[in-house]
Amino acid sequence: MGNISGTEKAEQVFREYADMIYRIALHNLSSAADAEDILQEVCVVLMTKPSPEDEVHLKRWLIRVTVNKCKNFKRSFWQRNRESIEDFSYLASPEKREMMEELYSLPENYRNIIYLYYFEEYTIPEIAEILEKNENTVKSSLRRARKRLKKILTEEGEEQ
């Protein structure tokens, strides 16, 4: 892809990866509007900062930038001191809301690892590199996340 500084190249890369960036942001923030904001911020970074040369590293770099932007967003004063309208909204079906609550009941690091492993189909070594963690940490986090999800889903089945 080359060093992206020209708007044409940035636009091309953005078109190719916008969907992935949006999904990762939505996964981390659970708000479409906030995910769109992160998508725009990543686009600005893509246009203003030097990016990796090859496509594999570029995709990983974009994931890393997106995850970091989401973390920064969550730490912001405004985000910490607001109530989401979604907390009061009953527009979604009860089944979907329950499933999302189960997934979002996991800690953020587990959610990111599960997302990258199952939805973006990255290997454990690749996830470790992207998240800048040890491979063994990623393996154990993935195992723990699966165990927690299984427990949550098993308890749900017993209650019904």
**DSSP secondary structure of 26-90:** HHHH--HHHHHHHHHHHHHHHHHS---SSHHHHHHHHHHHHHHHHHHHHHSHHHHT---GGGT--
Would you tell me how many other CB atoms lie within 10 Å of the CB of residue 58?
19
pLDDT at residue number 122: 92
H or E element in which residue 21 lies: helix 7-29
Fold classification of 90-160 is Arc Repressor Mutant, subunit A (1.10.10)
SS3 state at 120: coil
Fold classification of 1-89 is Rna Polymerase Sigma Factor; Chain: A (1.10.1740)
Does the pLDDT at position 144 exceed 80?
yes
Question: What are 62-83's pLDDT values in tens digits?
Answer: 999 999 999 999 888 766 656 5
**Rounded distance between C-alpha atoms, residue 41 and residue 64, angstroms:** 13
Question: What are 98-127's pLDDT values in tens digits?
Answer: 656 777 778 888 888 988 887 788 999 999
Decide whether 1-89 matches 90-160 in CATH topology. no
Answering whether pTM is above 0.75, one says no
Residue 12's pLDDT band (cuts 50, 70, 90): confident
Sketch the domain layout of the chain as residue ranges: 1-89, 90-160
Question: What are 20-71's pLDDT values in tens digits?
Answer: 999 999 999 888 999 999 999 999 998 888 888 788 899 999 999 999 999 9
